[in-house]
Chains A and B, each alone.
Chain A
Amino acid sequence: MTALTLVYTGLFYLAAIILIGGIAYRIYEYARTPAPLVIPTTPAPTTTSGVALRMTREVVLFESLFKSNKWIWLFGWLFHVSLALVILRHFRYFQEPVWFWVEFVQPFGKYASFGMVVGLAGLWARRFLVDRVRYISTPSDHLMLALLLAIGASGMMITFVAHTDIVALKAFTLGLMTFDWHPVPADPILLIHLALVALLMIIFPVSKLLHAPGVFFSPTRNQKDNPRETRHIAPWAAAMERDRA
């Protein structure tokens, strides 16, 4: 095994552990922290299925963002939907044989990369052009967009401009999955693409990318509006109540 393969193999195991372990820890942290009061932003659904529907609209359609600002919605939604298609397309590098629907999504996933880049560019432009958004932007906000754009651009280079040895790459990724390690193709653009993806995986659990698990735990969106019918009390508040009784 070459030093390069060793580094990339180790990097992806490390990144995967940090990503999965980190997000799992965050979810545990969010889940164990109680929401002591009923605070859905009303009007809110009164039933569990209603809440599920509200959350689905929020996550799939970005309903609140649509209400807020059509430009952010357009670029943001375009980016996320494109990214989802691109990720689904990448499933093919982790399975043999490739599932039917992954085959089906392949052409859409390829061209979705354009949507991803356009969406990111639009979001980034707002950070310069809109004075309010410029004011709130931190270096990490810019770098996050740069990172995602670089991942998208390097991936598109591989897909559309300078093809890499995709068979060798798949041997490498399948090898990671089965602990039967194969050499990583020494293609500079591919190596950049892979390194940036690993970086994204590593920073995910300590960055604003936590909005992804966070939205599901947002009390203003995931609570039912039923406080008159149901008594909602957090463990620490119940303990305080017993002390006072």
Chain B
Amino acid sequence: MAAAEFDIPTLTDKTDIPKVREGAMAHAKSFIAPQGPQEYLGYPWELGEDWKQRAIDKMGDLLGKYRSLRVFLDACVHCGACTDKCHYFLGTADPNNMPVARQDLMRKVYRRYFTLPGKIAPWLVGAEDLTEDVLNQWYSYYHQCSECRRCSVFCPYGIDTAEITMAGREILNHVGMGQKYSNEILVKVQKIGNNLGLPGPALEDTLLGLEEDIEADTGVPVKLPLDVEGAEILLVTPSADFFSEPHVESLIGYAKVFHAAGVSWTLSSKASEAGNFGLFNGNYETMRNVAMRIRDAALELGVKRIIVGECGHAWRVAYSFWNTLTGIGYGGDDPFSKQLQQQLDARYPQPMHICEYTWDLIEKGALKFDKSRNDDRVITFHDSCNVARGSRMGNEPGGQFTIPRNIIKAVANHFHDMDADTIGEATFCCGGGGGLLTDDLIEVRVKGALPRMNAYHAVAQAKGVNFLALICAICKAQFTKVLPYYGFDRGQVGGVHQLVSTAIVLD
């Protein structure tokens, strides 16, 4: 690890609310997207003379298309309920990282151009002209929000800053200020099929190598099939699962579960990515284009079920948006939806999370475990933000909290939850979500991880916890990088299905 160029926060048992330090993170600015990705995505790559008008027009367009944006910009009363809820504020003390202040960066422009008091008495209501300074503020602070929705839990009107951030990024894109990291990924996923830019043949090689590893390790010929037509299940998983540590351990876990269930399943080289950065940019069309690859793959392969691997925002998009965007789900009565619905097996929810699938099998007694194999691990579970507050698992609200924990308890003997204020619906983001998982934002990421690191530190001290179980590719990559800054070994990070993989007994 290179020496940090910023102060790393000190761990404490409880996360204190800092005193406001204006401008503390004003310097944080991720790289701006160059011409290539901007052009591919249909955006300009320079401000241009008419940028201001285009920004206002885009805002008007979004206000007409998204009720959330319109209501959220009007409804805030500046009560302060959200001010101490954002992990980036808690970690940086920059007041613009308070959710309300982040919203106000846009609200002040909205008021100036779209409301009567803002037009006639801007000073009274905090309205401001849109200037290049404001635009730069937007760029900086709309990329210090991981769209984790924690603030929306605590707002008396349910104002979700993620919706404002998404709109802000969409407007920025329309004036030529896209973010390099996210937009390059959006090109790779559409051109090549996954966020890592991993071509089909390389994927095939990787999977064959993994099959050999598993057989050498367990003596059981567990397969990782690719592009198998007529398979029952299509598994769509984040591409990090194919290459990154510890992600790949969970992929092995899924394969072992499918093997033990004796089911036919396949991965797809076309849909070799569950992640969908279209969510982060707030562009419906891009998000739909990225999601359509999965529908297309499902239709081509003729699968009956679609299961999604461990990935937080991907699961939000899959669970909450796939039916809307691509007709993966039920209840549609248009030809587009029916085409896929007729193919899918109506006995199962579509799509299904890998944790729902594994837990079903565990409940049926279809899987055998030797829990003692996980005895060197004292485990805690980090609820990923998009799973916790933007989706569900199982039939009951809150299943997204119980099902992963039930799996862990079924495969391991030592489990302890972190402080109740930091899990469940109140979970803290890992600090790297929402398109922030890039090295040019490392300071934001390290500081934003503070509340989670404090809670992890506390349970490590009190209970000897040494393993942070996750169900999100971004969380895995973020914590692997950030844990060492706080003095923990990066090997303490892993997936829930990594634990399953360790304990499962294969015949």
Contact = CB atoms under 8 A, between A and B. Distances in A.
Given A39-B320, A130-B80, A139 B124 contact: yes
B141 to A, nearest CB: 14
Contacts of B330: 228-231
Interface of B: 17, 19-20, 22, 63-68, 70-72, 74-85, 95, 98, 100-101, 104, 115-117, 123-126, 149, 152-160, 163, 284-285, 288, 319-321, 323-324, 327, 329-334, 336-337, 349-351, 388-392, 397-398, 400-401, 425-426
Contact of A33 (B63, B77, B126): B63
A135 B20 CA distance: 8
B390 A135 contact: no
A206 interface: yes
7 closest residue pairs by CB, A with B: A214-B75, A68-B154, A43-B397, A220-B158, A138-B126, A231-B332, A132-B83
A133 B116 CA distance: 25
Contacts of A43: 392, 397-398, 400-401, 425
Given A64-B155, A240-B285, A211 B160 contact: no
B157 A231 contact: no
Given A206-B116, A219-B68, A228 B124 contact: no
A132 B84 contact: yes
Q: Is the interface of A mostly helix, strand, loop or mixed?
A: helix
Given A30-B70, A221-B158, A234-B65, 11 more contacts: A36-B324, A72-B81, A132-B17, A136-B104, A139-B124, A217-B67, A218-B75, A220-B159, A230-B323, A231-B334, A232-B323
Contacts of B66: 33-36
A38 to B, nearest CB: 5
B153 A133 contact: no
A69 B124 contact: no
A72 B78 CA distance: 11
B126 A41 contact: no
Given A135-B20, A227-B324, A64 B158 contact: yes
A64 B64 contact: no
Contact of A215 (B156, B163, B324, B349): B156
A76 interface: yes
B324 A237 contact: yes
A208 B110 CA distance: 13
Interface string A127-141: 000111101111111
B324 A232 contact: yes
12 contacts: A35-B66, A58-B158, A64-B153, A65-B81, A65-B154, A140-B126, A208-B74, A215-B156, A218-B68, A227-B323, A229-B331, A231-B330
How big is the A interface, by class? 35 or more
A89 B379 CA distance: 58
Contacts of B117: 140, 203, 206-207
Interface in A98-147: 123, 126, 130-133, 135-141, 143
Contact of A227 (B74, B123, B329, B388): B329
A23 to B, nearest CB: 12
A41 B104 contact: no
Nearest to B151: A68
A41 B163 CA distance: 12
Contact of A228 (B152, B350, B390): B350
A42 interface: yes
Interface string A195-238: 00000000100111011001101111100010111111110111
A206 B125 CA distance: 11
A135 B160 contact: no
A228 B329 contact: yes
A206 B64 CA distance: 18
B336 A218 contact: no
Nearest to B82: A68
Interface of A: 26, 29-30, 33-39, 41-46, 58, 62, 64-65, 67-69, 72, 76, 123, 126, 130-133, 135-141, 143, 203, 206-208, 210-211, 214-215, 217-221, 225, 227-234, 236-238, 240-241, 245
B78 A136 contact: yes
A33 B156 contact: no
Nearest to A237: B284
A229 B349 CA distance: 8
B95 to A, nearest CB: 5
Most buried by B among A123, A132, A237: A132
A42 B424 CA distance: 10
B79 A72 contact: yes
A210 B426 CA distance: 27
B156 A64 contact: yes
Contact of B98 (A123, A136, A141, A211): A136
B71 A218 contact: yes
A41 B158 contact: yes
A76 B100 CA distance: 17
Contact of B67 (A34, A140, A228, A240): A34
Contact of B124 (A39, A138, A245): A138
B320 A215 contact: no
A89 B54 CA distance: 51
Given A46-B397, A135-B101, A219-B68, A231 B324 contact: yes
Contacts of A230: 323, 330-331
